[in-house]
Amino acid sequence: MKQLFVYIFAVGLFIAIFYTFWRTEWKYLQPTPIPKGYVNTAIGQKIDLSPFTIHPINNRPIFLHFFSIDCPCSKFNIQQFNQLVELHRHQVQFYAVLFAEDTTGLAASFQEKMHHQVPLILQKGTQLAAACGVYSTPQVALLDGNTKLYYRGNYNKSRYCTEKATEFAQIALQDLLAGKPTPQFGELATQAYGCELPENYYEKLEQKNK
């Protein structure tokens, strides 16, 4: 009887450890599942910003930062986003598109993490994500001066944003400002990793449009 109890305890402990590892690490190493109803937005496609509180100024590039307050991956890349805003805020329009189950105090909580205030999009965020082909966080949608999609993808191949050689968002932004074509990073940059958005919005949008 004692041996059975020890066995059951050991199995339960193993399951608990495995579940904790899966929840905190393993699932974020896997590509984010593509939601039902997803429609890809091609690089070079013009994004209609008229439904959103985004007003292009003097043909400046627009940097859309998709962020979920509850997503561990989003929390890790706040420092890199801060650095990009610090370096390019006079050349680029930065916006943060925020997602959360509970929006109470969301704006204040995010702005506390920023060294410089950035405009926030709290309403119609899922529609903007769909327009840009974004279905996870953290993700970047970078638009050129004509509001055409120049780059959409990850900040870095590392969820901790520590790999200098694969700072995809920063490299893409620098290339856009230098007038270069969209860089070809491959799947490490363009295949979404991170957290699914709080709702299966593509399916809902598909049903709404029927």
Pair 25, 60 in one domain: no
DSSP conformation letters of 15-55:
HHHHHHHHHHTGGGGSBPPPPTT-----TTPBP--TTTT--
Pair 77, 15 in one domain: no
Pair 14, 39 in one domain: no
Pair 79, 138 in one domain: yes
Pair 173, 70 in one domain: yes
Other CB atoms within 10 Å distance of the CB of residue 138: 28
pLDDT tens figures, 95-128: 999 987 777 788 888 999 899 999 999 888 889 9
Question: Among 4-13, 79-88, 135-144, which stretch is predicted with the lowest mean pLDDT?
Answer: 4-13
For 98, the token pair is 């925020």
pLDDT score of 203: 52
Pair 76, 158 in one domain: yes
Pair 121, 149 in one domain: yes
CATH number at residue 174: 3.40.30.10
Pair 111, 16 in one domain: no
Segments forming the whole domain that contains residue 18: 1-30
Pair 17, 47 in one domain: no
Pair 121, 178 in one domain: yes
Pair 143, 63 in one domain: yes
Comparison of pLDDT for 116 and 205, the residue scoring more: 116
Pair 127, 193 in one domain: yes
**Number of structural domains, the chain?**
2
pLDDT tens figures, 134-163: 998 899 999 999 999 999 999 987 555 566
Contacts of 115 (CB under 8 A, 6+ apart): 82, 85, 86
